[in-house]
Amino acid sequence: MKIAIVLGTRPEIIKFSPIIRECDRLDLDYFLVHTGQHYWYCMDKVFFVQLGLKEPRYVLDVRSASHGSQTGRMLMGIEKILLLKEQPSVVLVEGDTNTVLAGALAAVKLGIKVGHVEAGLRSYDRQMPEEINRVLTDHCSDLLFAPTSNSKEILLNEGILRSKIFVTGNTVVDAVFQNLRISKKEGNVHCRLGLEKGAYFLATVHRQENVDIKERFGKILKGLEMVEKKFGFPVIYPAHPRSRKQLRLLGIKAKGVKVTEPLDYLNFLRLESEARLVLTDSGGVQEEACILGVPCVTLRYNTERPETVDVGANALAGTDPDDIVEKTEFMLNAKNKWENPFGDGKAGKRIVQILRKKIDSN
């Protein structure tokens, strides 16, 4: 069995890290293809260095473009690697980015089996490009690794065969536990930013539907400003390079919010683990905060991680400033004794075990 792991963004590297480590532990034949969807050092190469992962065998360096152009260039590059250079037994993709869709399409068109890690997530908002990517990827995959029983039911209700679906837990749990231990060996990010542990709010805002629309981005930042004034905790916003660019292009001022350069993953994870509360539009950060026991307010009107809301770890605020303040107060008063719904931290081992059983046996 030869495994191709196709990734291209920070969350994919993080969530694939437990699977990569398990492949290394078992000395399996695998290689990494990096599409270059994220290409800033702090969001890309530093991850492999800090997490102790071997570097990708292939880097496509696609970078930013329109959805169609970016996905098409990835598809062409991945197809060449799979067809002319490697001929793997299975291609693994994770999540819902353009990288995921391109990797899955390239493989299925060549008759190569596709494994989708984190299958069955749905926001039911077709205006989100990620929703289209995850639905299409699920429906062309041979092995669907669902993080929860809820995700499995979604897939079954869409007509996907039960024999293709495996509830494994989410590799984000493995990654948080494994990588938090590594992060504590790094320097003290709290001192560098002048923060006291447990006495700050951490914010992330990066989704296209939030940062590309001036009114919406402005309302979110106004909400963060009001949160800082009402509750007296500094709000730290490590801004994605594209988000910083949009702040400049749209002429938006982030008042009362400390906007910093993007943090590398280990420093961000450390900061996240000791925040009083997280405000985010990221699905992955919702999961991480839930696992870490940190209350979360989501700056969206929907989530593909409903389990975080169900267990009381997360509240949907949308983008209205008053609602952001209201949900922040609600979560600050909530008891953060919820049970992590995403598994026991052994998802990576389960996924590799299933691959060996299903692919090696064929």
Judgement on whether residues 259 and 135 belong to the same structural domain of the protein: no
Is residue 337 situated within a structural domain?
A: no
For residue 226, give the nearest of 246, 255, 204, 205 by alpha carbon: 255
If one counts the domains in the chain, the total is: 2
The domain of 228 spans: 181-332
Judgement on whether residues 209 and 64 belong to the same structural domain of the protein: no
What pTM was computed for the model? 0.86
Judgement on whether residues 89 and 164 belong to the same structural domain of the protein: yes
Residue 11 confidence (pLDDT): 87
Is residue 7 situated within a structural domain?
A: yes
In contact, 53 and 26? CB cutoff 8 Å: no
In contact, 53 and 17? CB cutoff 8 Å: yes
Judgement on whether residues 55 and 198 belong to the same structural domain of the protein: no
Is residue 338 situated within a structural domain?
A: no
Residue 326 confidence (pLDDT): 98
Residue 41 confidence (pLDDT): 47
Residue 78: CATH number of its domain: 3.40.50.2000
Judgement on whether residues 38 and 157 belong to the same structural domain of the protein: yes
Is residue 143 situated within a structural domain?
A: yes
Judgement on whether residues 326 and 356 belong to the same structural domain of the protein: no
Judgement on whether residues 347 and 247 belong to the same structural domain of the protein: no
Judgement on whether residues 207 and 96 belong to the same structural domain of the protein: no
In contact, 21 and 54? CB cutoff 8 Å: no
Residue 361 confidence (pLDDT): 64
Is residue 267 situated within a structural domain?
A: yes
* Residue range 148-196, pLDDT digits in tens: 999 999 999 999 999 999 999 999 999 999 999 888 877 678 888 889 9
Judgement on whether residues 219 and 297 belong to the same structural domain of the protein: yes
Residue 254 confidence (pLDDT): 87
In contact, 43 and 262? CB cutoff 8 Å: yes
What span, in angstroms and rounded, lies between the C-alpha atoms of 310 and 261?
Answer: 33
Judgement on whether residues 157 and 263 belong to the same structural domain of the protein: no
Judgement on whether residues 60 and 84 belong to the same structural domain of the protein: yes
For residue 13, give the nearest of 77, 73, 120, 93 by alpha carbon: 93
For residue 288, give the nearest of 54, 90, 14 by alpha carbon: 14
Is residue 224 situated within a structural domain?
A: yes
What span, in angstroms and rounded, lies between the C-alpha atoms of 119 and 9?
Answer: 17
Taking CA atoms, 107 is separated from 71, 140, 143, 192, 199, in Å, by 14, 9, 13, 45, 47
> 3-state class of 4 per DSSP?
strand
Is residue 17 situated within a structural domain?
A: yes
Judgement on whether residues 217 and 326 belong to the same structural domain of the protein: yes
Beta bridge partners of 280: 204, 298
Burial of 334 (0-12, 13-18, 19+ CB in 10 A): middle
| pLDDT tens across the length of the chain (362 residues) | 999 999 998 889 999 999 999 999 999 999 999 998 766 545 567 778 888 899 999 999 776 667 778 899 999 999 999 998 899 999 999 999 999 999 999 999 999 999 999 999 999 998 888 899 999 999 999 999 999 999 999 999 999 999 999 999 999 999 999 999 888 877 678 888 889 999 999 999 998 889 999 999 999 999 999 999 999 999 999 998 888 889 898 999 888 899 998 888 889 999 999 999 999 999 999 999 999 999 999 999 999 999 999 999 999 999 999 999 999 999 999 887 899 999 999 999 999 999 999 987 66
Count of CB atoms situated within 10 Å of the CB of 214: 13
**Among all residues, which ones are annotated catalytic?**
206
